[in-house]
Amino acid sequence: MKKLGFGCMRLPVLDGDNSNIDVERFKEMVDLFQSRGFTYYDTAYNYHGGKSECALREALVERYPRNAFTITTKMPMFRVEKAEDFKRIFFEQLQRLGVEYVDYYWLHAINKKEYEKAQQLNAFGFISQMKAEGKIKHIGFSFHDSPELLDRILTEHPETEFVQLQINYIDWDSPAICGRQCYETAVKHGKPIIIMEPVKGGALANVPKPVEELFKKADPDASVASWAVRYAASLPNVLTVLSGMSNIEQVDDNTSYMRDFKPLDKDGFALVETAAETIKNYTAIPCTACRYCVDGCPQKISIPDYFGLYNEYMRMKRHLDGDYKNVQGGKPGQCVLCGRCENVCPQHLKIRSYLKDVAAIFEK
């Protein structure tokens, strides 16, 4: 398997509607990805308002033979309330995808709360049963919590084959994400790692000017984003690195340098570490725009879009009032402080507090 996977969480959409995927453009992206020898696709039950799996069926499954691609999807533990939900959701996913089996299947976004639920409802038992029946080839989980919890899970469930972790050069030593420590824990247990968010939701493709100049001086032909993807892929024990691609230009760029992947050398790692320290001084809100926070928001606040504008304001010290007004849904000042967003945020951000900061700047 080549060390680049297609993350189906940030697909092209129509009319700015995250649940209205532009399937024709997605087909073009899939065709280019496949033509360059890449086969791994990562989706989930809730991506794009529940439409990602269906779009993957249209763009990939219905157009290529089953042995020409690899699919990963996930059990949305945050939507499971009783043991009976596992079977209902899993078979709905098979129908959405149009497949008889899934190559890789994860328990999605495991943290302390969801692990307790998984234990209570025997989630690992369910996916192991589906594997035994041939409906899943490989099992594992995606993880957003402490290395201590990860160590406990891997100790209690050695049957899991892979772990999906958030790793990028900004979060490597982050006390909130614990990228290095979680990576080392998975390695200790002998589990291959799938990396998500290597470009941190696009943030590491849109870096401050001094960092861009640093990278371009080292390699004028390499894109800024390529440094983030290659950094993640250069770590030992990594099976593949996911990139949530939104247009064909991103597919073209990512596949161009990952087709014959060459790991970073010592100087490359040192350069990326220097870039990381510089970027940290420019980023006010470390949001990856995964949009987990948006689905359950009672005010329908498009939180990542506002955080992006706030970060741009803090970098450039210029207002983006027109862009701010064009964001659909509720405004940050309309937050009712329910906390649902914070309960599902993989970055463990204090979203309610940040929304107040955004409102203070843009809603004067």
Q: What are phi and psi of 12, to 5 degrees?
A: -65, 140
Q: Comparing C-alpha atoms, which of 247, 243, 203 is closest to residue 21?
A: 247
H/E segment holding residue 362: helix 351-362
Q: Print pLDDT tens along the chain (364 aa).
A: 899 999 999 999 999 899 999 999 999 999 999 999 999 999 999 999 999 999 999 999 999 999 999 999 999 999 999 999 999 999 999 999 999 999 999 999 999 999 999 999 999 999 999 999 999 999 999 999 999 999 999 999 999 999 999 999 999 998 888 999 999 999 999 999 999 999 998 889 988 889 999 999 999 999 999 999 999 999 999 999 999 999 999 999 999 999 999 999 999 999 999 999 998 888 889 898 898 999 889 999 999 999 988 887 876 655 677 778 888 899 999 999 999 999 999 888 999 999 999 999 888 7
Q: Comparing C-alpha atoms, which of 137, 104, 133, 110 is closest to residue 123?
A: 110
Provide the 10 A C-beta neighbour count for residue 236. 8
Instruction: Give me the pLDDT at residue 115, please.
Output: 97
Residue with tokens 């596949």: 255
Q: Comparing C-alpha atoms, which of 244, 116, 140 is closest to residue 190?
A: 140
Instruction: Give me the pLDDT at residue 256, please.
Output: 97
Region of residue 156 (left: phi > 0; alpha: psi -120 to 50; beta: else):
alpha
Instruction: Give me the pLDDT at residue 318, please.
Output: 59
Q: Report the predicted TM-score, pTM, of the whole model to 2 decimal places.
A: 0.85
Q: What are the structural domain ranges in the chain?
A: 4-280, 292-362
Instruction: Give me the pLDDT at residue 313, please.
Output: 81
- DSSP letter at 301? B
Q: Comparing C-alpha atoms, which of 93, 50, 6 is closest to residue 294?
A: 50
Domain 4-280 grouped into CATH 3.20.20.100 = yes
C-alpha–C-alpha distance, residues 96 and 344, integer Å: 24
CB contact burial 166-197 (16+ within 10 A = b; e otherwise): bbbbbbbebeebbbebbbebbbeeebebbbbb
**Strand 4-7 with 193-196, pairing:** unpaired
Residue with tokens 């970060």: 311
Q: Is the dihedral of CA 14, 91, 241, 258 positive or negative?
A: negative
Q: How far is CA 278 from the centre of its chain?
A: 23
Provide the 10 A C-beta neighbour count for residue 212. 14
